Structure 1
Amino acid sequence: MPLWERPQYLIDRLPQALLAPDLQMMRVNIAQRAWNRDPKAFMEKFVPMFLNGLNRNSLDKKESQ
């Protein structure tokens, strides 16, 4: 694939790849395994990381307005 076609290819394919149902199911399965292994560590690590991502996205939206 020529170099000049690669960005358009990524723009077209990336949303499909990120939202693919099998990939989403794999993410859920990984989260379930982590929860089953150690619920306390899961809550201490994942929840703050998730909330920081939400806060960062809301801050980015406020700054762009």
Structure 2
Amino acid sequence: MPGEMVPERRELRASHEERDQAVERLTVAAGEGRLTPDELDERLEAALTARTHGELAALLADLPDAGP
């Protein structure tokens, strides 16, 4: 609708699947030695309780992009 405010992607609610993807990426990063066990635990807890895309993005911001 004209004049309607559209939320930024960072403000959109995260889905179960998106939280699961973040958990997988964090687990892989820990396996590569990029995160300590304590960092992994902290970030996994935050990922599983994240409400928005922005919260998930903050947990992954200092990790390289996934994929080849």
Greater relative contact order (CA < 8 Å, ≥ 6 in sequence): 2
Q: Same fold (TM over 0.5)?
A: no
- Looking at CA atoms only, which structure, 1 or 2, has the larger radius of gyration? 1
TM-score by length of 2: 0.40
TM-score by length of 1: 0.41
